[in-house]
């Protein structure tokens, strides 16, 4: 399967970096199988919008968590990761809490929204996709194809 990583630089050798802020599935190297989503993300902010293309070949011996859609389990997992907790999965795949959804998740974590209110607000948001790689073994599942500037 071909997957994409949005960046401001060509990333021939992906890395997992621990940073100040955690993401949906904790620290990892994030890609998507949704090309249009990658183009939107690459075109945010200053700098050349670069799409990095990778070939992804799954390894069934790795620990993989896959969320097929936004669910209570997905919401709890993202809330935990965004709160700074880590997990033991090599790869996590599922919907992305984009900027709008993230605001709802943040309100849910803070106790300003109930679970029922969260789902009422999140119900009509467009589908997204992300796959994150959290170990060196996971990064071995992807091979760099090319990087190119792509304006949205």
- Per-residue model confidence as pLDDT tens digits over 71-116: 999 999 999 998 999 999 999 999 987 777 888 888 999 999 999 9
Mean pLDDT of the chain: 93
What phi and psi values does residue 101 have, to the nearest 5 degrees? -60, -40
Which pTM value belongs to this model? 0.91
Q: Answer yes or no: is pLDDT of 40 > 80.
A: yes
Q: Give the start-to-end residue ranges of the domains of the chain.
A: 2-149
């Amino acid at each position: 399967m071909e997957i994409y990583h949005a960046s401001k630089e060509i990333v021939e050798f992906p890395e997992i970096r621990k940073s100040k802020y955690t993401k949906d599935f904790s620290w990892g190297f994030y890609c998507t199988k949704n090309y249009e989503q990658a183009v939107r993300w690459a075109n945010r902010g200053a700098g050349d919008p670069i799409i990095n293309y990778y070939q992804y070949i799954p390894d069934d011996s790795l620990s993989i968590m896959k969320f097929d859609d936004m669910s209570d389990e997905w919401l709890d997992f993202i809330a935990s990761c965004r709160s700074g907790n880590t997990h033991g999965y090599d790869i996590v795949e599922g919907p992305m809490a984009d900027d709008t959804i993230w605001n709802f998740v943040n309100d849910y974590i803070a106790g300003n929204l109930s679970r029922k209110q969260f789902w009422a607000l999140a119900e009509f948001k467009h589908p997204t996709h992300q796959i994150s790689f959290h170990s060196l073994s996971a990064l071995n599942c992807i091979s760099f194809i090319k990087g190119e500037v792509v304006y949205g």
